[in-house]
Amino acid sequence: MWTIYNSKNWNDLEQHFNWVKRMSEVPQDSRYHAEGNVGIHTKMVLEALQEQTDFQKLGKQEQELLWAAALLHDVEKYSTTVLESDGSITSYGHARKGAQFARRLLYMELPTPFELREQIVGLVRYHGLPIWLFEKPDPLKTLAKVSMEVNTEWLALLARADMIGRVCDDQEEMLYRISCFEEFCKENNCWGQARNFVSPDAKIYYLQNEEAYIDYIPFEQAKFEVIMLSGLPGAGKDTFIKKNYADWPVISLDELRIEKGIAPDDKKGNGQIVQEAKARARVFLRKQAPFIWNATNTTSQMRMQLIGLFLTYYASVKIVYLEVPFENLHSQNKNREAVVPKVILDKLANKLEVPTLWEAHQVSYHIG
């Protein structure tokens, strides 16, 4: 069974992990956290989590997964906490940064099985959502997306522990909001499962159109397929193409760089490469001809910009994400024709965002 650390003793954790130790250095606003600093709060959350009956019913591996998420949920308050001019203390963006930290830690330093790692990352990223969901512009669309990233039943468990593990005046109201979140999940078939759609076209139509009804079946269907590869340099994208799509036309940013003599760290040159690649893609798109887009595509923003282009031409988009253990990444990168400098590879790994199921018609994961 995977475990983040065998000892659950806080003193042991502080001695073993610097990032645990520094939690006790981070103050919190007494209006919401009268219990004290982030370290005190995190210990209380871990205790509250383990006392919940629904947590005790889980298997040992699921318990360890949730425990790790609780340990990490506020880890980036260290870098985001600000003492405001009015005396209040804020930590805007700590959940998003915390998710990035969790993925780096569990990929680069504490190798964790892919499915477990991504659930932990999702729990850290969305641990506050059950409280704030109904303040989102479109709560149902937000919930549908999140249910495709993380188990919402576990998310509610973590949110309850997060709220019980603090001292504040609005605790009862916040726990009520979490109960409403649970009921909303159940009403919309998102409780402990990804929201299901009648077809990939229906999923994309709903997520791409602001006024769309969640169960609407679109008349317009995708007419051809575009495959987008995603993965760090050295993850095996070229090998995957040769084994599975040898007869498909490929737009490869690496090959374009070699063709144009552009270095991987040339920002201006790489911007020109992307524009050239998009121009070549439009040739296929206008013909509604299948092709493969081969690049790292390691952030959601990169992927969604391209997917928006592909969808304009009624393409069915399939993302294929490839990953190898981090310890193998640099050696495999060195064996590539287009070697990426170590500093750039590490930078990409630090910012990696694994594709989620809602991003495209299909998303598949090939984990080495």
Q: Which of 48-52, 172-176, 271-275, 333-337 has the lowest mean pLDDT?
A: 333-337
Collect all residues with Cβ–Cβ distance below 8 Å to 250 and sequence separation of at least 6.
Answer: 241, 291, 292, 294
The overall pTM is greater than 0.85: yes
Computed over its alpha carbons, how large is the radius of gyration of the chain? 22
Whether 47 shows a pLDDT value over 90: the answer reads yes
Structure confidence by residue, pLDDT tens digits, 52-90:
999 999 999 999 999 999 999 999 999 999 999 999 999
Set out the domains of the chain in order of their start, with CATH numbers: 10-187 (1.10.3210), 224-367 (3.40.50.300)
Asked whether residue 309 carries a pLDDT value surpassing 90, the answer given is yes
The token pair that represents 196 in the structure block: 């299901």
| Sheet arrangement for strand 250-252 | 250-252, 291-294, 224-230, 315-323, 362-367
CA dist., res. 271 & res. 302, Å (int): 12
| pLDDT band for position 339 (cuts 50, 70, 90) | confident
Which residue bears the tokens 């391209």?
306
Q: Say which residue the tokens 């760290």 belong to.
A: 265
* 234 vs 74: CA distance, rounded Å: 32
Cα dihedral: 6, 12, 18, 22 (round 10): 120
Tokens 């809602």 belong to which residue? 358
Nearest to 105 by CA among 92, 91, 90, 124: 124
Question: CA-CA distance, 160 to 175, in Å (whole number)?
Answer: 7
* DSSP class of 109: I
pLDDT classification of 342: cutoffs 50, 70, 90: confident
Please check whether residue 293 is in contact with residue 227, taking contact to mean a CB–CB distance below 8 angstroms: yes
